[in-house]
Amino acid sequence: MRLDAKMPGGPLEKKWDKHRFELKLVNPANKRKFNIIVVGTGLAGGSAAATLAELGYNVKNFCIQDSPRRAHSIAAQGGINAAKNYTNEGDSIWRLFYDTVKGGDFRAREANVYRLAQVSNNIIDQCVAQGVPFARDYGGLLANRSFGGAQVSRTFYARGQTGQQLLLGAYSSLSRQIAAGKVEMFPRREMLDLVVINGQARGIVVRNLITGEIENHEAHAVVLCTGGYGNVFFLSTNAMASNVTAAYRAYKRGAFFANPCFTQIHPTCIPVHGDYQSKLTLMSESLRNDGRVWVPKKPGDKRPPHQIPESERDYYLENKYPSFGNLVPRDVASRNAKEQCDMGKGAGETGLAVYLDFEDAIKRDGKDVIEKKYGNLFQMYEKITDQNPYETPMMIFPAVHYTMGGLWVDYNLMSTVDGLFVLGEANFSDHGANRLGASALMQGLADGYFVIPYTIGGYLTGTSLPDVGTDHPAFRDAAGQARSRINKLLSVKGKRTVDDFHRELGLIMWDHCGMGRNDEGLRKAKKMIQELRGEFWENVLVPGSDGDFNQSLERAGRVADFLEFSELMIRDALDRRESCGGHFNEAFQTEENEAMRDDENFCHVAAWEYAGDDKEPEFHKEPLVFENVELTQRSYK
């Protein structure tokens, strides 16, 4: 199968307008005849469901949580990018586009990223109209702060709770449509399979997480907005329920998985503090606007930070990258933190931390100003660590945070299965090999509010979609398979808990497919995962039954999928014979230890096709063509 990204022709700036004009429209009366399933209620799913319903489509919206408001997006802290240039610093759509392509180490599609930058400004207008309480400057304009990989301040924010406020905005639009009867809401449902009939996505199979009942839902198109798979590493900043199941099931039904090895490790998280921990906490990148990152100059220096004089501190990011300083992109900041710790200069008892210090900012601006900007983040830090960051520097360390890989989609956000659209973090998206801070919220809302409403119409109106009922054999088969998998999980009755398997898988992935990778480690990890998967199906303990609320059973299904999917990540990492962004193969680095790309051979999207349980996946390549930016070695010096 040849991958066709359906890229519109013409100049970059005109592509999206031209495409929107050329897409066929569904007239308002006909929209009522179409049923659309949206899985997920985060920023991507919530905005898509609300907008499609507002247009007149009949929407069924599903999520795992008890309320759409509890989707993982609510955790987003720092902000959302847009090219408004309110600050007069010289920002523009072009600059946001360029920064994002460069930030992603030139492994994203130019046209997608340009569209993202174009609609970024509409997103801010839409959210303000919904009443999202963005921070404002003294003159009343919306305020901005800086995020990594940019030299202009273009990040709109609502204290350290931007995701929450944006999600409440999307949720209010969604609620309006629920009340109007255009969205039927299905909370506490987990999608377990995609139903494909005659090559078209026509429905899903879900488990009712309260009653255990398996339900079939039919539609004319399915929109997956199920988030990222960072929890494959067990410890991550993601919500506990974030998973790969929906995307992985779609992969098994024919949707290609793109760049699965592209994982983002965020440089500023609260370090791991014990064996029983199941979650990591992010300290937003916005803190690097004012916080200064440093380690002691001397390896092994264990003095408390206030006893280390200025002359004996190494502000390694400011020294090495004078142009961007503490605001280098995440992949660069993470690798440098690891490098300092590997040299024995790490802080704290474990030596696996660096300092993020606000002393200078507090002296300069006053505690009140810092508290206004970051108060809730400082409070969160103090609650978790019992240390007061106004008085002593924070200790931070990189942690798994985001996944740039995801289901492959074309310019219309449609996967390789007709009628299956994928939005937000679940698609392989616009971020290339490394996502810049504050651009995930931008992408999720761009996809949901401004892209899918147009592109789904083009599909629905130009496609023959014969009636199928949930009594179609394809539904029976998929539901039967979901049931027998659940029974299999319950019948093992082994001795190890699901979390115990998950923790071991996470460690394997962190050690061998994390911040630094090498061929030997990746091969070793592949073998270890195969053995662990074998043991899982012989020795996992899933208590309870399938007839009621059973979170062990839910988790068991997700971990079973992670145990298969992780092998695909490793396969992809082994195959990419270069380093780029978050994929850092130690064999491919510059003299200054930066990622070394191979544009001649690897300037492509790697898309994997499922070929069978005991078969290697098939590789497909979508070449990336750069006509507007020059491919260069990324430099933030």
Ligand X SMILES: Cc1cc2nc3c(=O)[nH]c(=O)nc-3n(C[C@H](O)[C@H](O)[C@H](O)COP(=O)(O)OP(=O)(O)OC[C@H]3O[C@@H](n4cnc5c(N)ncnc54)[C@H](O)[C@@H]3O)c2cc1C
Instruction: Point out the catalytic residue in the list 154, 330, 335, 503.
Output: 330
* Binding stretches for ligand X (CB under 6 A): 39-45, 62-65, 71-73, 75-80, 162-163, 189-191, 225-228, 237-238, 242-243, 245-246, 282, 401-402, 424-426, 438-441, 444
* Cross-sheet strand order for the sheet of 200-208: 189-197, 200-208, 214-218
* 456 phi and psi angles, rounded to 5 deg: -65, -35
Question: CA 507 to CA 524: how far, in whole Å?
Answer: 13
Closest CB to ligand X among residues 118, 429: 429
In the complex, what is the shortest distance from the CB of residue 432 to ligand X, in angstroms, rounded to a whole number? 15
Q: How far is the CB of 68 from ligand X (least distance, A)?
A: 6
Strand ranges in 68-174 using DSSP code E only, listed in sequence order: 80-81, 155-156
Give the chain's end-to-end CA distance (angstroms, integer).
Answer: 42
| Alpha-carbon gap, residue 188 to 252, rounded angstroms | 23
Please identify, using beta-carbon distances, which residue of 162 and 585 lies nearer to ligand X: 162
Nearest approach, Cβ of residue 243 and ligand X (Å): 5
Q: Which is nearer to ligand X, 134 or 602 (CB)?
A: 134
Cα(269)–Cα(334) distance, integer angstroms: 10
User: Is 353 within 8 Å of 396 (Cβ atoms)?
Assistant: yes
The residue (of 8 and 46) whose beta carbon lies closer to ligand X is 46
Longest Cα–Cα distance in the chain: 74
Q: What is the DSSP letter of 478?
A: H
In terms of CB distance, is 39 or 93 closer to ligand X? 39
Q: What whole-number distance in Å separates Cα of residue 64 and Cα of residue 187?
A: 6
Q: Which is nearer to ligand X, 316 or 408 (CB)?
A: 408
- The CA angle 211-565-624, to the nearest 5 degrees, is 125
Query: Measured between alpha carbons, how far is 385 from 140 in angstroms, rounded to an integer?
Result: 36
Nearer to ligand X, 73 or 412 (CB): 73
Euclidean distance between CA atoms 411 and 419, whole angstroms:
14
Backbone angles phi, psi at 283, to 5 degrees: -110, 110
Question: What are the tokens at 381?
Answer: 């830090």
Rounded CA separation 407/617 (Å) = 14
- Compute the 3-state secondary structure of the chain and give helix, strand, coil in percent, each to the nearest 5: 40, 15, 40
Given a contact cutoff of 8 angstroms between Cβ atoms, the answer to whether 313 and 365 are in contact is no
| Nearest distance in Å: CB 322, ligand X | 26
| Of 73 and 259, CB closest to ligand X | 73
CB of 537 to ligand X, least distance (A): 21
Has 555 been annotated as catalytic? no
The β-bridge relationship of strands 496-497 and 540-541 is parallel
Rounded CA-CA distance 586/118 in Å is 36
Closest distance to ligand X from the beta carbon of 253 (Å): 14
Phi, psi (rounded to 5 degrees) for 171: -65, -35
Alpha-carbon dihedral angle through residues 589, 591, 592, 598, given to the nearest 10 degrees: -30
Least distance from ligand X to the Cβ atom of residue 79, Å: 5
* CB nearer ligand X, residue 45 or residue 149: 45
CB of 494 to ligand X, least distance (A): 24
Query: Which residue's CB comes closest to ligand X?
Result: 42
Q: Shortest Cβ distance from residue 472 to ligand X (Å)?
A: 21
Q: How far apart are CA 428 and CA 192, in angstroms?
A: 21
Say how far apart CA 276 and CA 266 lie, in whole Å.
21
- Which residues carry out catalysis? 330
